Amino acid sequence: MLIGELSQASGISAKTIRYYESIGIFPCGTRTAGGYRIYSASDIEVLILIKRARDLGFKIREINELVTFWQDPTQANEKTKEMVARHLQRLSTHVQEIQALIHSLQKMMDAVSTPNSSQISL
């Protein structure tokens, strides 16, 4: 597929894909005789991994390690494993914080729904 098709399939702009290629976290597609880059279906998965990692606060160098780890887990070194473990812990903590916030918001909604409720306890 061409970069426009890859962009549409992954939800990532062609400009961002080219940026990821330029900084080395996404491999450049193979080129046709006409100079067009051609990408495979597995490239969509790599781009989605990169996007999710960026959204979750991974640094570029960490994303590069994640992509390498994802493509061949047997090549992961201890540094990569530790980085992934740190992020898993951070994300687990974040999930717990979100769940606590959801609980508090639900209590607020319940209090608002109760006509004689004068105070909201969290």
Residue 38 covered by a domain: yes
Which residues, other chains included, contact 67 with Cβ-Cβ below 8 Å and sequence gap of 6+? 25, 26, 46, 49, 50
Residue 72 covered by a domain: no
Q: What percentage of the chain's residues is helix, strand, coil (to nearest 5)? A: 70, 5, 30
Model pLDDT for residues 33-90, shown as the tens digit of each residue: 888 889 988 899 999 999 999 988 888 888 988 888 888 888 777 888 888 888 889 8
Q: What are the backbone angles phi and psi of residue 56, rounded to the nearest 5°?
A: -90, 5
pLDDT band, very low/low/confident/very high, at 120 (cuts 50, 70, 90): low
Residue 67 covered by a domain: no
Which residues sit opposite 38 in a β-bridge? 30
Range of the domain at 106: 77-122
Please indicate, yes or no, whether the overall pTM of this predicted structure exceeds 0.75.
no
What pLDDT is recorded for position 96?
A: 96
CATH number of the domain bearing residue 20: 1.10.1660.10
Residue 100 covered by a domain: yes
| Total tally of structural domains belonging to the chain | 2
* Residues 52 and 4 grouped into a single domain: yes
* Residues 36 and 8 grouped into a single domain: yes
